[in-house]
Every structure is written in C-alpha cells, then in structure tokens.
A and B are shown apart, each in its own frame.
Chain A
C-alpha cells in the first residue's frame, strides 16, 4: 500500500471518528442553562470575592506588587464602557474592574490620569508617542491622547444586521487631522480629525489586510503584506489618489526562500523607500517597481551573523537610520549580540555604522529620528540610555520608579518622553483533578501602556 495513502487514511479516519463521537454529545436542557443564569446573578458576591482572592494570589505570586500602586492611581480615571463591544466577555472581570485596586495603598496623583482603558482581549497593534501625547491602535480602536486625556478616534463598528464581529484593525497612519486606519478589507479615512470617515476597499489579494503601510504624501501611499503559500512573496500596492485605487506592484520574493515575517514599509518620498520583514532590508528608488536587497556593512568589532533588522526611521532630507542585530544564533529570540545603528544621508546610497551597542538579549529601542535613539534593557529595567547625536554620546537615566510586569516595546517622542507597553504574566494554571487539561488555550496576557516624562526615571500608567 502506498504509505502516503495510508497516512491519508489515518487522518481521515481520525476526523471521521471525531465527527461520529462528538455528534452524540448531549445538549443540556435550556431550562438548566437559564437556571444557571439566575444562579450566577444570585451568587455574584461570593464569586467576585473568590475571584478577588485568586487574582490577588496570582498577582502576588507573579511578584508584581508595584502593579497595585500603579493601578490604584488609575482607577479614578475611569474605564472604557463595554457596551459598545459586540464581543463576548463583557461579563468577565476586566482589569479595571478588579477590586484588587481597592485594597491597594494610595499613591501620589499622576500627571495624566487615564480616561479610557483597554478592553478585555483588546490588544495593541501599533503605538506612537508623538509629543505630550500620541496614538494607540488596538485591534478594535484608534485612541488619541493629547497628554492629558484620551479620546476614541475610531471604534470598530458592528456591521448592521450582522452578528459577525468585525475584522481586527491592522495598521494606522496618523498625520495631524488626516488619519487612515486599515483592517482586513478596507481603509477608513478621516481628514477632519476623526469627525467623519470614508471607507475604501483594499485589494482582495491581501486577504488579511496590510501589515506594512506608508504614506509619504497625502496622495501617494503603499501597502504590503506577505501572502501566498507559506508567505514567501511580498505583495505591494501603490495608490496615487490617497487610497481610492490601488495598483499592484511587482511581487518581491523572499531573499532566503523562507517565510517572510511581518512586512513593514518606510517611504521617504513618492519613489524612495524601504521594506523589511525583520530579517531582510529591501530598497526601491522607483516607486516599488523594483527592489534591491540592502547589504549593510558589518563593522570589524561585530561578530556573529545578521539576525534582525528594524524598520528604518526616515528624516526630512534623505537621511535615515536602521538598526540591525548581530548574534551567533540568528532566528532565536533573547540571544546576546550586538546592535549596530546605521545611518545614511543620501537616501540609502551609502550606509555607515554610527554606533555599536552590546545587547544582552532583549534590548528594546526607539528610534525617534535619525540622531535621537533610546534603548532599554527590559530584563533589568534599571536604566534608560539615550543619545541625541547619532550615537556619539549616550547618557544614562537611572530608573527610580519602575514600570510593572514585563516591558515588550516602546516609543519615544524625544529623549525624555516615551511610552512603554507592558504585558501581564499569565495567571497560574489551576490544578483541577481529573483527566482534563485546563491550560490548553491560546492565551494573550493583558497589556497596558505606561509613560515617562523624564527620560525614564519614573513611569506612570496612561492606558490600563
């Protein structure tokens, strides 16, 4: 017998058995379900009390006592209403509803009390500190901050006459009052600072929407995503009318014939731009008609192989900065290596290594512009280093009031003002007797946004 045929038979047989067995599952009477609904209301208090106890244990176990003082100072700022969420989970306790905070000690008021909070299961897709405030794109909303309060610029609407949840938001471009937000299938555009929106469909060849978006001008824009079997090709589209129509540009194949990562775009003007999937940097000088792989010079002091490449940050006069990590285990996270900060002043014709920084493994960075960079080691969290002269000199700020949990990424508007995303740890898995595993779930730990106004010395919550 053909061994392949045997394999097919085996998986088909398993699927058939799965079908035959599960179709016999007994549906409980609806009266039981509704009785349980009533019971749940009657017994809400002890349940909440038990939840408080368990959550407190989880928090204490995770060693994040600092979080209590953080959160306590934030609850007063209010929380997002769940009423607009078509999703489930509104009955579940949210982070801001957690009564833990009521048991926490009082902390000093923070400069900007948060006026909104992340919803349950809402996750941050993209965020930029642009000055006193900035913007945050989640899978559901675009939130804008002026540094003192937040407002919801766009909330994912529920389609009329439909019970299907909308697609998650994928990317945003915020340029003053001109705002573009992309989901799987469309681009929403507001030119009046969120007051009114128009919507244009995206090319259907990008079934999950773009991962990379760049609009060097109000009219010219590019979007990109890796599609196709195993994601080995980058599909790029160009618009010349602000997103009304998209033209497919030549596909770019993976340089390594391996799966492309999340494609990111950074265009300096209508013709010149870069694209990266996190490991390869491509450059175009003719509006995405052709792309060439950029080979960055490796300084003699650097050992190992090229591992990751950050999305370039572009200045107004053709200068740009990109950071590459070199280590001895490309493809592995958390490996010690070296970060090389590259600069170009001629739109990518020549790249020079401006600075080399040792990376213990998880170093985070924010490229503010072509000369201002900030780096933090989230594993220690003891200091923040910054340069405003392209890496010639670095100044270190000791962290006196640390952020809670684990920092994952950051964005600085300048050397002093920055945002940081922190992720809560996973709660401990309850030990339930019996044969059934209870931890076999995909799980996304809750996120929060914290801010510094003093170069990283102190941090406070801005988006719980």
Chain B
C-alpha cells in the first residue's frame, strides 16, 4: 500500500504570511503562492481524490470534491501558511464538503465543462467492480478503513481528519473490514 505522508504538501516555497503580518500585500502574497499551490496540487491531488472516493464511493463525486477542495485552497492562497502542510486541511475540507448540506443540490448545478477523464477511464471502469463491495460500508467506515489500512495513518491522525476520536476510528475500520469480508 502507498503510505500517506501528511506533510507531503509542505512546500519549500518562501512562506507568505497574511497581510496583517505586514510582510506582504495581498496581491503579492497571492502571486507568490502560485508555485506553492501548483506543488501542493501535484502532490496532494491523489490523496485528496482517494479520500473523497472513500467517503462517497462515487468516482465522479470524488473528482468533484477534490476539485472543490483545491479551488477553496486556491481562493485562500494568500491566507495559507505555505510553510506548513496543507494536506490535512485539504482532507478535512473534503470531508466537510462531502457532508455539506447543499451538496446534492450543487451537483446538479455544476458549471463549466467536466474534466477530461479519458486517461483513467480504465481505472474508473475497474473501480465499478469494487463499488458494490465498498458500498456496503458507511462513508465513515470506508474512510476509516482506507485511511488506516491503505493510507497507513494511525488512528489518531485519521481521527483528526474525520473529526472523531482514535477509538471511534478503530471501531469504524473494524466494522468496515467485517463488512468487506462479507462482500462478494
């Protein structure tokens, strides 16, 4: 499995503080944040997408959620302390977006053309074979299981992302594993 390094999106760019710190104007901060954002996007997109997929069990929704999380990061680029990891923020944001109350309405309001998805179409089709099995799990059970087994986070770190305690993570992951055993 591919271990998930929560510091993966910690960039080496010069930290750009908020304007209240007096170290940069908002425009300058936003400009300087572009390469840091690009680096974060390159490194953290897959973990964010996979977490969103674990939560939603829906490939298209996961792409949508990952996109939304990075858009939020982009809009806040002049506020972000780029010397710190942004992946935890992205994951929590993704989870919150997924539970957002207007999420379902917004899905039918998606603007702009969809992303081109041809390169991963095989993976998407293969994933459909797995979808039913993982569909037996709740979003929390899937996410806890994926974060602790596939992404190799400890229960406390996974709990910080999921907004629950470590014991609750272990419990959810255990339930998820039991349900997977019964999946055909």
B104 near A441: Cβ-Cβ < 8 Å: yes
> Known interface pairs A15-B149, A27-B46. Does A427 touch B122 (Cβ–Cβ under 8 Å)?
no
Q: Which of A387-440 contact B (CB under 8 A)?
A: 424, 427-430, 432, 434-440
Instruction: Find chain A residues with CB under 8 A from B166 CB.
Output: 207
B119 near A438: Cβ-Cβ < 8 Å: no
A185 → B minimal CB distance (Å): 10
Interface string of A425-464 (1 = CB under 8 A from B): 0011110101111111111111000000000000000000
B84 near A121: Cβ-Cβ < 8 Å: no
Q: How far is the CA of A149 from the CA of B152 in the complex (A)?
A: 48
A430 near B127: Cβ-Cβ < 8 Å: no
Q: How far is the CA of A11 from the CA of B69 in the complex (A)?
A: 30
Q: Which applies to chain A's interface (DSSP): helix, strand, loop or mixed? A: loop
B181 → A minimal CB distance (Å): 4
- Closest A residue to B92 by CB, please name it: A165
- Closest A residue to B102 by CB, please name it: A92
Report which of A33, A35, A167, A438 forms a contact with B58, defined as CB distance below 8 A. Answer: A438
Q: How far is the CA of A139 from the CA of B2 in the complex (A)?
A: 33
B75 near A91: Cβ-Cβ < 8 Å: yes
B139 → A minimal CB distance (Å): 5
The verdict on B140 contacting chain A, using a C-beta distance below 8 Å, is yes
Q: How far is the CA of A303 from the CA of B88 in the complex (A)?
A: 53
> Known interface pairs A19-B1, A208-B164, A429-B104. Does A30 touch B46 (Cβ–Cβ under 8 Å)?
no
> Known interface pairs A89-B96, A91-B72, A208-B167. Does A40 touch B112 (Cβ–Cβ under 8 Å)?
yes
Instruction: Find chain B residues with CB under 8 A from A10 CB.
Output: 180-181, 183
> Known interface pairs A18-B150, A47-B109. Does A161 touch B100 (Cβ–Cβ under 8 Å)?
no
Instruction: Find chain A residues with CB under 8 A from B160 CB.
Output: 164
The verdict on A108 contacting chain B, using a C-beta distance below 8 Å, is no
Q: Which applies to chain B's interface (DSSP): helix, strand, loop or mixed? A: helix
- Closest A residue to B100 by CB, please name it: A89
A439 near B183: Cβ-Cβ < 8 Å: no
Q: How far is the CA of A424 from the CA of B102 in the complex (A)?
A: 12
A24 near B120: Cβ-Cβ < 8 Å: yes
Interface string of A38-79 (1 = CB under 8 A from B): 011001000100110011001000000000000000000000
B145 near A51: Cβ-Cβ < 8 Å: no
Report which of B38, B105, B111, B181 forms a contact with A427, defined as CB distance below 8 A. Answer: B105
A163 near B88: Cβ-Cβ < 8 Å: yes
The verdict on A297 contacting chain B, using a C-beta distance below 8 Å, is no
Q: How far is the CA of A177 from the CA of B23 in the complex (A)?
A: 39
A88 near B69: Cβ-Cβ < 8 Å: yes
A43 near B111: Cβ-Cβ < 8 Å: yes
Interface size grouping (class) on chain A: 35 or more
Instruction: Find chain B residues with CB under 8 A from A442 CB.
Output: 98-99, 138-140
Q: Which of B110-146 contact A (CB under 8 A)?
A: 111-112, 115-120, 122-124, 126-130, 133-135, 138-140, 145-146
B113 → A minimal CB distance (Å): 9
> Known interface pairs A22-B127, A163-B80. Does A120 touch B58 (Cβ–Cβ under 8 Å)?
no
Report which of B94, B120, B177 forms a contact with A26, defined as CB distance below 8 A. Answer: B120
Instruction: Find chain A residues with CB under 8 A from B139 CB.
Output: 440-442
Q: Which of B46-60 contact A (CB under 8 A)?
A: 46, 49-50, 53, 55-60
A441 near B109: Cβ-Cβ < 8 Å: no
Q: How far is the CA of A7 from the CA of B83 in the complex (A)?
A: 44
The verdict on B25 contacting chain A, using a C-beta distance below 8 Å, is no
Q: How far is the CA of A39 from the CA of B84 in the complex (A)?
A: 29
A435 → B minimal CB distance (Å): 7
9 cross-chain pairs, A with B, having the tightest CB-CB distances, nearest first:
A208-B165, A163-B89, A26-B120, A88-B93, A11-B180, A24-B123, A26-B119, A7-B181, A207-B165
Interface residues of A (CB under 8 A from B): 7-8, 10-11, 14-19, 21-28, 30, 32-37, 39-40, 43, 47, 50-51, 54-55, 58, 86-93, 120-121, 161-165, 167-168, 184, 207-208, 227-231, 424, 427-430, 432, 434-446
Give 18 pairs: A residue, B residue, CB < 8 Å, sorted on A.
Answer: A21-B126, A21-B130, A23-B50, A26-B119, A32-B115, A33-B70, A36-B111, A36-B112, A51-B105, A88-B96, A164-B160, A165-B92, A184-B165, A435-B128, A438-B61, A440-B58, A442-B99, A443-B104
Given contacts A28-B67, A36-B71, 13 further A-B contacts (CB under 8 A): A25-B49, A25-B53, A33-B67, A33-B74, A39-B112, A88-B69, A88-B72, A91-B71, A91-B75, A208-B165, A437-B135, A440-B135, A441-B103
